[in-house]
Structure 1
Protein backbone atom coordinates (compact mmCIF):
# COMPACT_ATOMS: atom_id res chain seq x y z
CA UNK A 1 0.00 0.00 0.00
CA UNK A 2 2.89 2.32 0.77
CA UNK A 3 4.31 1.76 -2.73
CA UNK A 4 0.97 2.77 -4.23
CA UNK A 5 0.89 6.04 -2.27
CA UNK A 6 4.47 6.82 -3.33
CA UNK A 7 3.58 6.17 -6.96
CA UNK A 8 0.53 8.42 -6.61
CA UNK A 9 2.69 11.23 -5.18
CA UNK A 10 5.18 10.88 -8.04
CA UNK A 11 2.40 11.10 -10.60
CA UNK A 12 0.89 14.10 -8.80
CA UNK A 13 4.26 15.87 -8.86
CA UNK A 14 4.69 15.19 -12.58
CA UNK A 15 1.16 16.28 -13.53
CA UNK A 16 1.63 20.09 -13.23
CA UNK A 17 4.62 19.93 -15.56
CA UNK A 18 2.56 18.01 -18.12
CA UNK A 19 -0.28 20.52 -17.80
CA UNK A 20 2.03 23.51 -18.28
CA UNK A 21 3.54 21.91 -21.38
CA UNK A 22 0.01 21.41 -22.75
CA UNK A 23 -0.86 25.03 -21.96
CA UNK A 24 2.05 26.17 -24.12
CA UNK A 25 0.75 24.09 -27.04
CA UNK A 26 -2.86 25.26 -26.68
CA UNK A 27 -2.67 27.59 -29.70
CA UNK A 28 -1.99 25.33 -32.65
CA UNK A 29 -2.01 25.58 -36.37
CA UNK A 30 -2.04 22.72 -38.81
CA UNK A 31 1.74 22.94 -39.19
CA UNK A 32 2.55 22.42 -35.51
CA UNK A 33 2.96 18.80 -34.44
CA UNK A 34 0.61 17.39 -31.83
CA UNK A 35 2.56 16.07 -28.84
CA UNK A 36 1.99 12.39 -28.17
CA UNK A 37 0.51 12.02 -24.72
CA UNK A 38 1.12 8.72 -23.02
CA UNK A 39 -1.84 7.54 -20.96
CA UNK A 40 -0.94 8.15 -17.36
CA UNK A 41 -1.89 5.80 -14.61
CA UNK A 42 -4.71 7.14 -12.50
CA UNK A 43 -3.46 7.59 -8.92
CA UNK A 44 -6.98 7.13 -7.56
CA UNK A 45 -7.07 3.55 -8.84
CA UNK A 46 -3.96 2.67 -6.82
CA UNK A 47 -3.51 -1.12 -7.02
CA UNK A 48 -6.86 -1.80 -8.72
CA UNK A 49 -6.31 -4.00 -11.81
CA UNK A 50 -6.24 -2.33 -15.22
CA UNK A 51 -9.26 -3.66 -17.14
CA UNK A 52 -9.25 -3.27 -20.96
CA UNK A 53 -11.75 -0.81 -22.40
CA UNK A 54 -13.87 -3.34 -24.32
CA UNK A 55 -17.68 -3.33 -24.35
CA UNK A 56 -19.44 -6.29 -22.76
CA UNK A 57 -21.64 -6.46 -25.86
CA UNK A 58 -18.77 -8.10 -27.74
CA UNK A 59 -18.76 -11.08 -25.35
CA UNK A 60 -20.62 -14.30 -26.20
CA UNK A 61 -24.14 -14.57 -24.77
CA UNK A 62 -23.72 -17.83 -22.84
CA UNK A 63 -21.29 -19.07 -20.21
CA UNK A 64 -21.48 -16.33 -17.56
CA UNK A 65 -22.58 -16.32 -13.91
CA UNK A 66 -24.70 -13.26 -14.70
CA UNK A 67 -25.89 -13.82 -18.28
CA UNK A 68 -27.82 -10.53 -18.46
CA UNK A 69 -24.71 -8.45 -17.79
CA UNK A 70 -22.31 -11.01 -19.35
CA UNK A 71 -19.91 -11.09 -16.42
CA UNK A 72 -18.78 -13.49 -13.71
CA UNK A 73 -19.21 -12.73 -10.02
CA UNK A 74 -16.04 -11.26 -8.50
CA UNK A 75 -14.76 -10.04 -11.87
CA UNK A 76 -13.18 -6.56 -11.59
CA UNK A 77 -15.15 -3.77 -13.26
CA UNK A 78 -13.75 -1.11 -15.56
CA UNK A 79 -13.69 2.41 -14.13
CA UNK A 80 -16.18 3.42 -16.87
CA UNK A 81 -18.38 0.36 -16.42
CA UNK A 82 -21.59 2.26 -17.20
CA UNK A 83 -20.28 2.99 -20.69
CA UNK A 84 -18.94 -0.53 -21.35
CA UNK A 85 -21.78 -2.53 -19.77
CA UNK A 86 -24.68 -4.16 -21.60
CA UNK A 87 -26.78 -1.06 -20.85
CA UNK A 88 -24.25 1.33 -22.39
CA UNK A 89 -24.37 2.66 -25.94
CA UNK A 90 -24.69 -0.03 -28.59
CA UNK A 91 -21.54 -0.93 -30.46
CA UNK A 92 -21.88 -0.59 -34.24
CA UNK A 93 -22.40 -3.85 -36.12
CA UNK A 94 -20.83 -2.37 -39.24
CA UNK A 95 -17.49 -0.54 -38.97
CA UNK A 96 -17.86 3.22 -39.61
CA UNK A 97 -15.72 3.26 -42.77
CA UNK A 98 -17.79 0.44 -44.31
CA UNK A 99 -21.05 2.19 -43.31
CA UNK A 100 -19.85 5.43 -44.94
CA UNK A 101 -18.92 3.56 -48.11
CA UNK A 102 -22.31 1.81 -48.27
CA UNK A 103 -24.21 5.05 -47.59
CA UNK A 104 -22.31 6.93 -50.29
CA UNK A 105 -23.03 4.11 -52.78
CA UNK A 106 -26.76 4.34 -51.93
CA UNK A 107 -26.81 8.15 -52.36
CA UNK A 108 -24.90 7.87 -55.63
CA UNK A 109 -27.45 5.30 -56.81
CA UNK A 110 -30.35 7.67 -56.09
CA UNK A 111 -28.60 10.54 -57.89
CA UNK A 112 -27.89 8.38 -60.96
CA UNK A 113 -31.50 7.15 -60.97
CA UNK A 114 -32.78 10.73 -60.86
CA UNK A 115 -30.50 11.80 -63.71
CA UNK A 116 -31.55 8.82 -65.84
CA UNK A 117 -35.23 9.63 -65.25
CA UNK A 118 -34.72 13.32 -66.04
CA UNK A 119 -32.60 13.01 -69.18
CA UNK A 120 -33.38 9.58 -70.65
CA UNK A 121 -36.96 8.68 -69.75
CA UNK A 122 -38.79 12.02 -70.11
CA UNK A 123 -39.69 12.52 -73.80
CA UNK A 124 -39.09 15.76 -75.68
CA UNK A 125 -41.91 18.28 -76.00
CA UNK A 126 -44.11 17.46 -79.01
CA UNK A 127 -44.59 21.16 -79.88
CA UNK A 128 -42.29 24.13 -80.26
CA UNK A 129 -42.64 26.64 -77.40
CA UNK A 130 -44.38 29.89 -78.39
CA UNK A 131 -42.10 32.81 -79.23
CA UNK A 132 -43.13 36.47 -79.47
CA UNK A 133 -41.35 39.18 -81.43
CA UNK A 134 -39.87 42.34 -79.92
CA UNK A 135 -38.37 40.56 -76.91
CA UNK A 136 -41.59 38.93 -75.81
CA UNK A 137 -43.99 41.83 -76.55
CA UNK A 138 -42.64 43.94 -73.68
CA UNK A 139 -43.73 47.25 -75.27
CA UNK A 140 -47.05 45.88 -76.56
CA UNK A 141 -48.04 44.68 -73.08
CA UNK A 142 -47.30 48.04 -71.49
CA UNK A 143 -43.59 47.75 -70.70
CA UNK A 144 -41.81 46.51 -67.62
CA UNK A 145 -42.58 49.54 -65.43
CA UNK A 146 -46.34 49.27 -65.91
CA UNK A 147 -46.42 45.53 -65.16
CA UNK A 148 -44.80 45.87 -61.76
CA UNK A 149 -46.98 45.37 -58.72
CA UNK A 150 -48.45 48.51 -57.18
CA UNK A 151 -46.67 49.45 -53.94
CA UNK A 152 -48.76 49.05 -50.85
CA UNK A 153 -49.33 52.15 -48.73
CA UNK A 154 -50.11 52.10 -45.04
CA UNK A 155 -53.14 54.34 -45.34
CA UNK A 156 -56.60 53.58 -44.13
CA UNK A 157 -59.22 52.84 -46.78
CA UNK A 158 -61.58 55.71 -47.53
CA UNK A 159 -65.24 55.23 -46.63
Structure 2
Protein backbone atom coordinates (compact mmCIF):
# COMPACT_ATOMS: atom_id res chain seq x y z
CA UNK A 1 0.00 0.00 0.00
CA UNK A 2 2.88 2.30 0.78
CA UNK A 3 4.31 1.62 -2.68
CA UNK A 4 1.06 2.80 -4.29
CA UNK A 5 1.08 5.98 -2.18
CA UNK A 6 4.70 6.73 -3.10
CA UNK A 7 4.03 5.97 -6.77
CA UNK A 8 1.07 8.36 -6.76
CA UNK A 9 3.17 11.11 -5.21
CA UNK A 10 5.88 10.63 -7.84
CA UNK A 11 3.29 10.77 -10.62
CA UNK A 12 1.91 14.04 -9.23
CA UNK A 13 5.40 15.52 -9.05
CA UNK A 14 6.15 14.44 -12.63
CA UNK A 15 2.91 15.92 -13.94
CA UNK A 16 3.71 19.30 -12.39
CA UNK A 17 7.32 19.17 -13.58
CA UNK A 18 8.81 21.72 -15.95
CA UNK A 19 9.90 18.84 -18.22
CA UNK A 20 6.39 18.45 -19.59
CA UNK A 21 5.85 22.11 -20.44
CA UNK A 22 5.88 22.91 -24.21
CA UNK A 23 9.15 24.86 -24.01
CA UNK A 24 10.99 22.04 -22.25
CA UNK A 25 13.83 19.97 -23.65
CA UNK A 26 11.82 16.71 -23.54
CA UNK A 27 9.03 17.95 -25.80
CA UNK A 28 11.51 19.63 -28.16
CA UNK A 29 13.48 16.39 -28.54
CA UNK A 30 10.30 14.53 -29.42
CA UNK A 31 9.69 16.94 -32.28
CA UNK A 32 13.16 16.57 -33.78
CA UNK A 33 13.50 12.78 -33.88
CA UNK A 34 14.78 11.16 -37.04
CA UNK A 35 12.99 8.56 -39.08
CA UNK A 36 14.54 5.44 -40.53
CA UNK A 37 14.37 6.99 -43.99
CA UNK A 38 16.92 9.60 -42.85
CA UNK A 39 19.55 6.85 -42.59
CA UNK A 40 18.52 4.93 -45.68
CA UNK A 41 21.40 4.69 -48.19
CA UNK A 42 21.13 6.74 -51.34
CA UNK A 43 20.75 4.60 -54.49
CA UNK A 44 24.02 5.80 -56.08
CA UNK A 45 27.49 6.31 -54.63
CA UNK A 46 28.73 9.90 -54.24
CA UNK A 47 30.54 11.29 -57.28
CA UNK A 48 31.57 14.82 -56.28
CA UNK A 49 33.64 15.84 -53.25
CA UNK A 50 30.60 17.64 -51.80
CA UNK A 51 28.44 14.50 -52.08
CA UNK A 52 31.32 12.50 -50.58
CA UNK A 53 31.54 14.86 -47.58
CA UNK A 54 27.74 14.86 -47.15
CA UNK A 55 27.62 11.03 -47.21
CA UNK A 56 30.48 10.84 -44.68
CA UNK A 57 28.65 13.26 -42.39
CA UNK A 58 25.43 11.26 -42.81
CA UNK A 59 27.12 8.13 -41.45
CA UNK A 60 29.13 10.00 -38.78
CA UNK A 61 32.50 9.38 -40.41
CA UNK A 62 35.41 11.60 -41.38
CA UNK A 63 35.56 12.31 -45.14
CA UNK A 64 39.02 10.71 -45.38
CA UNK A 65 37.75 7.55 -43.64
CA UNK A 66 34.56 7.26 -45.69
CA UNK A 67 34.70 4.82 -48.60
CA UNK A 68 31.47 3.77 -50.35
CA UNK A 69 30.86 0.13 -51.19
CA UNK A 70 32.14 -0.86 -54.63
CA UNK A 71 29.38 -1.00 -57.22
CA UNK A 72 29.32 -4.64 -58.33
CA UNK A 73 25.62 -4.69 -59.11
CA UNK A 74 24.57 -5.64 -55.59
CA UNK A 75 26.00 -2.59 -53.77
CA UNK A 76 23.98 -0.55 -51.32
CA UNK A 77 24.59 2.86 -52.92
CA UNK A 78 26.40 5.28 -50.64
CA UNK A 79 26.58 2.93 -47.63
CA UNK A 80 30.14 2.87 -46.24
CA UNK A 81 32.35 -0.10 -46.91
CA UNK A 82 33.24 -0.97 -43.32
CA UNK A 83 35.34 -4.01 -42.46
CA UNK A 84 33.57 -7.12 -41.22
CA UNK A 85 34.42 -7.69 -37.56
CA UNK A 86 32.12 -10.06 -35.69
CA UNK A 87 30.83 -9.07 -32.27
CA UNK A 88 32.47 -12.12 -30.73
CA UNK A 89 35.88 -10.95 -31.97
CA UNK A 90 35.56 -7.51 -30.31
CA UNK A 91 37.07 -6.65 -26.94
CA UNK A 92 34.67 -7.83 -24.20
CA UNK A 93 36.23 -5.50 -21.59
CA UNK A 94 35.86 -2.27 -23.57
CA UNK A 95 33.24 0.16 -22.26
CA UNK A 96 30.76 -0.22 -25.14
CA UNK A 97 27.69 2.00 -25.40
CA UNK A 98 25.67 -1.14 -26.18
CA UNK A 99 27.57 -3.96 -24.45
CA UNK A 100 25.05 -6.64 -25.45
CA UNK A 101 25.89 -5.95 -29.13
CA UNK A 102 29.48 -4.82 -28.52
CA UNK A 103 29.11 -1.61 -30.48
CA UNK A 104 29.14 2.12 -29.87
CA UNK A 105 26.41 4.65 -30.52
CA UNK A 106 26.33 5.95 -34.14
CA UNK A 107 29.05 3.50 -35.17
CA UNK A 108 28.69 2.44 -38.81
CA UNK A 109 28.33 -1.32 -38.99
CA UNK A 110 28.69 -3.88 -41.73
CA UNK A 111 25.57 -4.15 -43.89
CA UNK A 112 24.99 -7.78 -42.88
CA UNK A 113 25.92 -7.38 -39.21
CA UNK A 114 22.68 -9.04 -38.07
CA UNK A 115 24.22 -12.35 -39.13
CA UNK A 116 27.44 -11.79 -37.15
CA UNK A 117 26.15 -11.19 -33.62
CA UNK A 118 27.81 -12.66 -30.57
CA UNK A 119 25.34 -15.56 -30.53
CA UNK A 120 25.69 -16.25 -34.25
CA UNK A 121 28.37 -16.94 -36.84
CA UNK A 122 31.87 -15.62 -36.12
CA UNK A 123 33.57 -14.61 -39.35
CA UNK A 124 36.92 -14.01 -37.63
CA UNK A 125 37.27 -17.44 -36.04
CA UNK A 126 40.07 -19.67 -37.28
CA UNK A 127 38.84 -23.21 -37.79
CA UNK A 128 40.81 -26.09 -36.26
CA UNK A 129 40.01 -28.26 -39.27
CA UNK A 130 39.79 -27.01 -42.84
CA UNK A 131 36.54 -27.24 -44.80
CA UNK A 132 37.85 -29.97 -47.18
CA UNK A 133 38.92 -32.06 -44.19
CA UNK A 134 35.45 -31.62 -42.68
CA UNK A 135 33.85 -32.82 -45.90
CA UNK A 136 36.25 -35.80 -46.07
CA UNK A 137 35.37 -36.82 -42.50
CA UNK A 138 31.64 -36.43 -43.10
CA UNK A 139 31.70 -38.44 -46.32
CA UNK A 140 33.93 -41.10 -44.71
CA UNK A 141 31.50 -41.62 -41.82
CA UNK A 142 28.46 -41.69 -44.09
CA UNK A 143 30.16 -44.10 -46.52
CA UNK A 144 31.16 -46.47 -43.70
CA UNK A 145 27.58 -46.49 -42.31
CA UNK A 146 26.24 -47.15 -45.80
CA UNK A 147 28.69 -50.04 -46.37
CA UNK A 148 27.83 -51.64 -43.01
CA UNK A 149 24.12 -51.31 -43.82
CA UNK A 150 24.54 -52.85 -47.29
CA UNK A 151 26.68 -55.72 -45.92
CA UNK A 152 24.13 -56.68 -43.28
CA UNK A 153 21.04 -56.05 -45.41
CA UNK A 154 20.78 -59.67 -46.63
CA UNK A 155 21.91 -61.21 -43.33
CA UNK A 156 18.69 -61.22 -41.37
CA UNK A 157 19.05 -61.30 -37.62
CA UNK A 158 16.22 -62.62 -35.50
CA UNK A 159 15.50 -63.97 -32.05
CA UNK A 160 16.20 -67.74 -31.87
CA UNK A 161 12.92 -69.60 -31.23
CA UNK A 162 11.63 -73.11 -31.69
CA UNK A 163 9.40 -73.85 -34.67
CA UNK A 164 5.75 -73.01 -34.13
CA UNK A 165 3.74 -75.89 -32.73
CA UNK A 166 0.41 -76.73 -34.37
CA UNK A 167 -2.27 -79.14 -33.06
CA UNK A 168 -2.38 -81.02 -36.37
CA UNK A 169 1.21 -82.14 -35.85
CA UNK A 170 0.22 -84.17 -32.84
CA UNK A 171 0.71 -83.69 -29.15
CA UNK A 172 3.86 -81.93 -28.17
CA UNK A 173 3.39 -82.53 -24.48
CA UNK A 174 1.97 -85.15 -22.14
CA UNK A 175 0.62 -85.28 -18.59
CA UNK A 176 1.99 -88.74 -17.85
CA UNK A 177 4.72 -89.26 -15.32
CA UNK A 178 8.16 -90.11 -16.51
CA UNK A 179 9.72 -93.26 -15.34
Alignment TM class, shorter chain as reference = 0.3 to 0.5
Q: Which of the pair has the greater relative contact order for Cα pairs under 8 Å at 6+ separation? A: 1
- TM-score scaled by length of structure 2: 0.33
- TM-score scaled by length of structure 1: 0.36
